[in-house]
Amino acid sequence: MKIALAQLNYHVGNFESNTAKIIDHIKKARGNGADLVVFSELCICGYPSRDFLEFSEFIELCESSAQKIAAECKDIACIIGLPTPNHRPEGKELNNSAYFIEGGKVKAIANKALLPNYDIFDEYRYFEPATEFNCIEFKGHRIALTICEDLWNTIENPLYITRPMDILIQQQPDVMINIAASPFAYNHDEERIAILSDNAKRYHLPLLYVNHVGAQTELIFDGGSLVFDNTGKLIDELPYFEEQVAYYELDKNSNITFNHQSTLKAERQSDIEQIHQGIILGIRDYFYKSGFKQAILGLSGGIDSAVVCALAVEALGPKNVMAVLLPSRFSSDHSIKDAEDLVKNLGCLHETIAIKDITEAFETTLKPQFKDLPFNIAEENIQSRSRAVLLMAMCNKFGYILLNTSNKSEAAVGYGTLYGDMCGGISVIGDVYKTQVFELARHINREREIIPENSIIKPPSAELRPDQKDTDSLPEYDILDKIIAEYVEHRCSSAEIIKMGYDEKTVRRVIRLVNLAEHKRYQTPPILRVSPKAFGMGRRMPIVGKYLS
């Protein structure tokens, strides 16, 4: 039996595009002699569809799309993912399903049993877990078909009380197929391989796994579809962050061979390489799927905006990126020159708009209210908000989308101006720590100097007052980032972090800042998720909570 794995980029709710793409790849697979082509979880509607799933018409469109696809499967079979009505009176209204289509008809349906309800996942909000499992007979083979999380209950501390494969294995399948929508995090590829390899080893069966690729707002799907033999050995791994179709032969003894050049690599990509590729895909898909083409950002000459500008140019092309220099009376000459050198290196569009007169007009207007109080954060934030007003005006006039340039360290402790430098349509590096931003800059410069060296080596500063440095307000970033990671990503308490050897006063101050900044993060743009725990939909904290404050 010849099996094709189709690792494709879908668009949530774009039934016409998704259906056409699936049908096109069915035709190509048929032309290449495939007996079965496998698509990923909820490929018909895209993942995550969120509350679109609560619209009956949305579910009806999923089914009508599936029937159009079935009509193309006269002499080839396919597996597709879609939400389907739960016809039992008990439980949620929907199932997360996989259709096995053969001979123009749906011959079998597998429903997902293990519904993740943690971090960014919210599947139990919509779906009823399956309780019945049956293998599928096709071409002399018995297929154990599961959906994503159904194979993730093999760790030492299981999240669920059942394993679908424990039931399916009793029916003596000779191959496992798993369709997935597994989002990207820079450490997730190794975890994914370990979990799936354990399944192949546990059940002594070969395993074919196909994943989504592409970004859906803040979630990035990295592809990396996998194939294992019945010993758990990884025998093939599809490319990351790009579409790919691969073909495999399953013989009568359940041995798998592939009919293409393997992309399996001896060394895994570094975290920074993965973050770089993930963000490029995230920017590109955010614009393409939103129907926008051009981005704008404020360019300060600092490392954060320089990295975002370079990433945007790589993702969208230099003619689709407008970098606006917005110097104030506190902007240093070298920062302006660094920004000018960057746009020269990138070849992107740029403008310079000085904000000195604008901020002085605000200060003059507010003089009766401010009286003779000394210059403080109020005047600093007027500068940041003036820049935001100008950038958003250009968005309205020319149809740009504003890129937010705040990093994860700043977002964590609230080191940014609400309605100022924290505004934007999408946050590009909001899940990248400041220390990682430096690594990202070096990676971008790996072949030639794109980001000026001075932007990388100079002490970080918001330049909102004379001689300002980030370290005036924050601990050094190499300490700050580690404390934030322990609290946010590893969910350690202040007491636990202090026991690790960090200064108690610093730990308590950082955690207090993180908690106090929650109201700011509720009002910021979606953040492209690249870590195991990003700010946004995967971290839900109360704004007025007292714990650890």
Quick: pLDDT tens for 52-89. Answer: 999 999 999 999 999 999 999 989 999 999 999 999 98
Domain extent, residue 366, equals 273-470
Mean pLDDT of the chain: 94
Task: Count structural domains, the chain.
Answer: 2
Find, among 263, 259, 250, 254, the residue nearest to 77 by Cα: 250
Residue of 148, 309, 395, 492 with catalytic role? 148
78 a catalytic residue = no
The pLDDT value given to residue 156: 66
Residue 363 confidence (pLDDT) above 90: yes
* E-only strand ranges, 32-148: 36-38, 77-85, 94-102, 105-111, 136-138, 141-147
Residue 95 confidence (pLDDT) above 70: yes
The pLDDT value given to residue 473: 76
Residue of 21, 112, 289, 520 with catalytic role? 112
Alpha carbon dihedral 516, 522, 526, 527, in 10-degree steps, equals 10
Contact call for residues 126 and 92 (beta carbons, < 8 A): yes
> In the listed set 470, 499, 523, which residue is the last one of a domain according to the structure?
470
148 a catalytic residue = yes
**Portion of the chain with pLDDT greater than 70, in percent:** 98
Both 277 and 182 in one domain: the answer is: no
DSSP H/E element including 281: helix 271-290
Cα 197 from Cα 217, distance rounded (Å): 30
Backbone angles phi and psi of 341, in degrees to 5: -65, -40
**Portion of the chain with pLDDT greater than 90, in percent:** 87
Residue 102 confidence (pLDDT) above 70: yes
Give the ranges where 302-433 is alpha helix by DSSP (H). Answer: 303-316, 333-346, 356-370, 377-398, 408-413
469 a catalytic residue = no
Both 446 and 304 in one domain: the answer is: yes
pLDDT in tens, 8-51: 999 999 999 999 999 999 999 999 999 999 999 999 999 999 99
Residue at 385 is within a domain: yes
Residue of 41, 123, 380, 410 with catalytic role? 41
Both 257 and 277 in one domain: the answer is: no
Residue 547 confidence (pLDDT) above 80: no
pLDDT in tens, 239-275: 999 999 999 999 998 899 887 777 777 678 999 999 9
The pLDDT value given to residue 469: 76
Residue at 534 is within a domain: no
Both 293 and 349 in one domain: the answer is: yes
Segment 360-382 mean pLDDT: 93
Residues counted in the chain? 549
**pLDDT-based confidence at 153, cuts 50/70/90?**
confident
**What six digits make up the tokens of 267?**
């060394």
Both 116 and 223 in one domain: the answer is: yes
The pLDDT value given to residue 464: 67
Q: 442: which DSSP letter?
A: H
Both 460 and 331 in one domain: the answer is: yes
pTM for this entry: 0.94
**pLDDT-based confidence at 157, cuts 50/70/90?**
low
> In the listed set 262, 283, 301, which residue is the last one of a domain according to the structure?
262
| Count helices and strands in the chain by DSSP H and E runs | 16, 20
Residue 502 confidence (pLDDT) above 80: yes
Segment 508-517 mean pLDDT: 95
Residue at 317 is within a domain: yes
